[in-house]
Amino acid sequence: MSGGVDSSTSAVLLQEQGYEVIGTTLELYRGSSCCSQETIMDAKKICNQIGIPHFTYNFKDEFKKYVIDDFIKCYEECKTPNPCIECNKYIKFDLLYKKAKELGCDYIATGHYAKIEYSEKYGGYVLKKSEENKKDQTYFLYSINREILPNILFPLADYKDKKEVRNIATENGLLVAEKPDSEEVCFIINDDYASFVEKNIQDKPKPGNIVLRSGEILGRHNGLIHYTVGQRKGLGISYKEPLYVIALNKEKNELIVGTEKELYGSKLYANEINFLVDFEKWDKEIFAKIRYRASFAKAKVNKQEDILEVTFDEPQRAITKGQSAVFYDKDGVVLGGGKIL
């Protein structure tokens, strides 16, 4: 429980369904927006209000190892990471799940907008898109262990509008009913990821050339950690037409820019694959998302040992190394996903 409206409402809904509920909050990072003293106290107040026990677990060391260190390493390697995916994989749906088992719990529940159901088609439990399409969070959940899917509850799965959830919180007199959502990376202050990375790496970023694919030098960059594919603002260069970051060359310390047309690609490769459905059961044509806010795009996938080759029907904008490609069937079932190479 993060002290927010989603997890608090989820606890109430589970109570109404007859579950014996235990609230837990994780201490992950000092100053984090999701586990500050304020959010921990909010979670405790909600638990007291609805009459359930509350436990706080300190996973700061594990969070640093699996989430923060990976975040920093990705930027050092000129990749753009997604720390929420790592947190779900290693912290919430691994370490916390193990704590839940120690407490004798049958299920772990969160306030994610996602759905777990049994699929006759695939012969097992599957992760599926929630009814709230704008808030659906299955993209962040593809990396969890498929073996624990039967032991996960998402109480908000069938709600089509966040207003419904806030109304339930209000009807139950929850103190956090109108609390604003927190959408930034929890351990980054003011969304200034570059400053965070720079403070935590040994080899400080060095200025280098901003170049076209032809090699023509257009200007200087401030260090590659300040840029990501698709970025237009903050380049500090002028050209006859708008330019965007289309690649980062770590070896040459070059920032490669080009026109918007050059941002589009029809193919990607992904590794570190997690299959929530056996690959042999995938349809020939599936749908892929290359970032959380991206649209679902029709694609064909070939498996080459530990790498997936993904070919899109239509070119995709700003395919970015380090982000995840997540795959769905036509019914919204999450088939699996991996890291873009």
Catalytic, 186? Answer: yes
Pick left, alpha or beta for residue 160 (phi over 0 → left; psi -120 to 50 → alpha; otherwise beta): alpha
Domain 264-340 has CATH 2.40.30.10: yes
Q: Where do the DSSP E strands lie in 158-238?
A: 208-211, 217-221
pLDDT at residue 189, rounded to an integer: 80
Catalytic, 84? Answer: no
pLDDT at residue 197, rounded to an integer: 94
Give the torsion sign (CA, 268, 271, 276, 277). Answer: positive
Q: How many CB atoms within 10 Å of residue 127?
A: 25
Query: Are 334 and 127 in contact, with CB atoms under 8 Å apart?
Result: yes
pLDDT at residue 202, rounded to an integer: 85
C-alpha distances (whole Å) from 82 to each of 3, 244, 322 are 22, 21, 8
Give the residues across from 211 on adjacent strands.
217, 256
Cα–Cα dist 70/88, whole Å = 14
Domain 205-258 has CATH 2.30.30.280: yes
Two tokens, residue 48: 């007291």
Which amino acid does the sequence have at 149?
A: L
pLDDT at residue 31, rounded to an integer: 72
Which amino acid does the sequence have at 97?
A: Y
Q: Where do the DSSP E strands lie in 144-290?
A: 152-153, 208-211, 217-221, 244-249, 254-258, 264-275, 285-289
pLDDT at residue 132, rounded to an integer: 76
Residue-range domain boundaries for the chain: 5-111+155-190, 205-258, 264-340
List, edge to edge, every strand of the sheet that includes 254-258: 217-221, 208-211, 254-258, 244-249
Cα–Cα dist 212/140, whole Å = 34
pLDDT at residue 138, rounded to an integer: 97
What's the number of CA atoms in the CB half-sphere (13 Å) around residue 81? 22
Which amino acid does the sequence have at 189?
A: I
pLDDT at residue 16, rounded to an integer: 97
Cα–Cα dist 157/141, whole Å = 14
Given 34, 35, 78, 186, which residue is catalytic? 186
Under-50 pLDDT residues of the chain: none
Query: Are 117 and 128 in contact, with CB atoms under 8 Å apart?
Result: yes
Given 34, 74, 78, 87, which residue is catalytic? 87
What is the signed CA dihedral for 336, 121, 267, 90, rounded to 10 degrees? 0
pLDDT at residue 235, rounded to an integer: 95
pLDDT at residue 277, rounded to an integer: 98
Q: Domain 5-111+155-190: which topology?
A: Rossmann fold (3.40.50)
Query: Are 335 and 278 in contact, with CB atoms under 8 Å apart?
Result: no
Give the torsion sign (CA, 32, 38, 44, 47). Answer: negative
